[in-house]
Copies of this chain bind each other. A is one copy, B any other.
Amino acid sequence: MLYLIGTGIHDEKDMSLKGIDACKKCAKVFAEFYTCPVSVNITSLEKMVGKKITVLDRKQVEEGEVVIESAKKQDTAFLVGGDALSATTHTEIMLGAKKAGIEVKIIHASSIFTAIAETGLMLYKFGKTVSLPFPQKGYFPATPYTNIKENLDAGLHTLLLLDIGMTANRALEILLELEGKLKGNVFSKDTKIVVVAHLGGDSLIKYDAIENLKKMDFGALPHSIVVLGKMHFHEADVLGLFK
């Protein structure tokens, strides 16, 4: 049996009782926290589940073999930050295990995809979620910008997930650079948007013009951004608290 378990949005205490129980039943427990950089303390987590946890690196996770080979022989748990399946690479491990005839049980947890409602914005008023990668030499994709624009045209909010290690400040610069290139009239320095940081920990939520947000220090990662579509007055009411 393979248990794919989310440790939740912030630290090891965001894990569910079901997840902890499953780890206790397993002969082997693996974990990885690079896909979703959370503040899990491994020593404390090991104490909670009563056994040693093997932390995998990016290559081991992407190949998936370590986890699947272990699950062929013994009950195995694989812990990941956020929900169990918010990253494609984890879905691929689920698929690989099922194809190898291994029973897979998914144990869900809290995640930015839902926790973003802490801003007061309604989940069913969000369009497609968008990822913002670091631009590289010869690689400055316009897709994040065009996707945000499509959501806006439909009156919908956009949850913008930032590349591993990216601050909201850097993301705001990138958005303004994209505006400069693509001129779709989506962002100006006066555009009011929402920045969230370390949500689920001591959640920081700021609603302000890009110009002001760019100068703020949001503290520890992860940071995320919401680009606002058409607002319901209830949403505006809650956002008002975060000015």
Q: Which residues of A contact B (CB under 8 A)?
A: 6, 8-9, 11-18, 20-21, 48, 82-86, 88, 91-92, 94-95, 98, 106, 108-111, 113-115, 117-118, 120, 122-131, 150, 154, 156, 161, 200, 203, 234, 237-238, 241
Given contact pairs A86-B117, A117-B85, A234 touches B123 in the complex (Cβ within 8 A)? no
B124/A128 in contact, CB under 8 A: yes
Q: Tell whether, in the assembled complex, residue B15 and residue A122 are in contact, meaning their CB atoms are under 8 Å apart.
A: no
Knowing A16-B14, A86-B117, the reply to whether A125 touches B128 (Cβ < 8 A) is yes
Query: What are the residues of chain B within 8 A of A237 when measuring CB–CB?
Result: 95
Question: A163 → chain B, closest Cβ, in Å?
Answer: 14
The residues of B that contact A83 with a CB separation of less than 8 Å are 110, 114-115, 117
- Please measure, in the bound complex, the distance between the C-alpha atom of A95 and the C-alpha atom of B147, giving whole angstroms: 31
Pairs A–B under 8 Å by Cβ, sample size 11: A14-B18, A85-B114, A91-B117, A91-B122, A108-B114, A110-B110, A114-B114, A124-B131, A124-B161, A126-B129, A128-B154
A128/B127 in contact, CB under 8 A: yes
